[in-house]
């Protein structure tokens, strides 16, 4: 009989300020946020940047299966559920209390046909799973802002194995952590150096992207797709593209992984 999963030992707290509802794990550290008047929008800058993977593929390409590890305030899932109606979404969350809070306070969609919620350790789930995903988003932290096994080379290799051939993994990292560069090195090693880290947001979050097969997108294509995404979803990633240019992350006016 499998060992019963024990949820993390931290409280789940909710706060509100200036029309924004926040999720905390027993501290002032923000684990997620939702603007109450616009629940489908992405309130925090790093969550918007995590959606930049949508610029890496033609708008006509529809991801069929998306995996999110770490539910938080359900920001990413609300956005994906609303704007990618053709996609089946799987969320793996280790703490059932986080799921309950997301349902009560953060408008977690209720749709068993399109959205599957799994209570499990994200690393264990990937190791056991045999399916493939078009995108894997990793946004799992504990109360002390640690990723644990979600920042190991074994985990990144499992991400590689569970990606579809043209799939993309997206990881939220903390750029100001002393172990940040080691995290980036582990990700790059697992993906044969096909990874890029976007410049840190003001919050200190740095979003990394990696893929199984080589990917190249021109600056012109990025701008065109950003305009289409803004029109269809309201999400404006043009400032992200400008930041990449300023940090010389687009050599030859191309994004290459």
Render pLDDT for 111-138 as a digit per residue (tens, 0 to 9): 989 999 999 999 999 999 989 999 999 9
CA distances from 86 to 61, 81, 83, 89, 103 (A): 11, 9, 9, 10, 22
Annotated catalytic residues are: 139
- Name residues of the chain where pLDDT drops below 50: 1-2
Predicted pLDDT of residue 176: 65
- Gap between the Cα atoms of 135 and 122, Å rounded: 15
Predicted pLDDT of residue 2: 46
- Both tokens of 121, joined, read 């350790």
**CATH of 13-216 among 3.40.50.300, 3.40.50.880, 3.40.50.1370, 3.40.50.150:** 3.40.50.150
- Gap between the Cα atoms of 185 and 205, Å rounded: 17
Question: Whose CA is closest to 141, among 194, 196, 94?
Answer: 94
Predicted pLDDT of residue 6: 63
- Gap between the Cα atoms of 182 and 175, Å rounded: 11
Predicted pLDDT of residue 1: 40
Contact between 115 and 109 (Cβ < 8 Å):
yes
In this structure, the number of other CB atoms found within 10 A of the CB of residue 252 comes to 9
- Both tokens of 252, joined, read 């030859």
161's torsion region: left (phi>0), alpha (psi -120 to 50) or beta? alpha
């Amino acid at each position: 009989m499998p060992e019963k999963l024990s949820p993390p030992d931290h409280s789940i707290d909710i706060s509100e300020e200036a029309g924004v509802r926040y999720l905390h794990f027993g501290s002032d550290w923000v684990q997620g946020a939702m603007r109450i008047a616009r629940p489908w929008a992405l309130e925090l800058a790093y969550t918007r940047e995590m959606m930049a993977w949508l610029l890496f593929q033609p708008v006509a390409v529809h991801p069929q299966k998306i995996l999110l590890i770490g539910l938080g305030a359900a920001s990413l899932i609300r956005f994906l559920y609303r704007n990618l109606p053709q996609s089946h979404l799987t969320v793996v969350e280790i703490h059932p209390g986080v799921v309950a809070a997301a349902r009560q306070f953060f408008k977690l969609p209720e749709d068993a046909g399109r959205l599957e919620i799994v209570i499990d350790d994200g690393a264990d789930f990937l190791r056991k799973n045999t399916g493939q995903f078009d995108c894997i988003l990793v946004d799992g932290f504990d109360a002390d802002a640690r990723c644990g096994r979600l920042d190991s080379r074994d985990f990144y290799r499992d991400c590689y194995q569970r990606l579809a051939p043209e799939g993309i993994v997206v990881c939220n990292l903390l750029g100001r952590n002393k172990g940040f560069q080691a995290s980036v090195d582990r990700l790059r090693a697992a993906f044969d150096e096909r990874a890029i880290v976007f410049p840190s947001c003001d919050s200190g979050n740095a979003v990394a992207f990696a893929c199984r097969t080589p990917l190249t997108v021109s600056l012109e294509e990025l701008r065109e797709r950003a305009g289409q995404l803004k029109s269809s979803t309201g999400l404006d990633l043009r400032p992200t593209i400008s930041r990449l240019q300023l940090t010389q992350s687009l050599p030859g006016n191309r994004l290459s992984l």
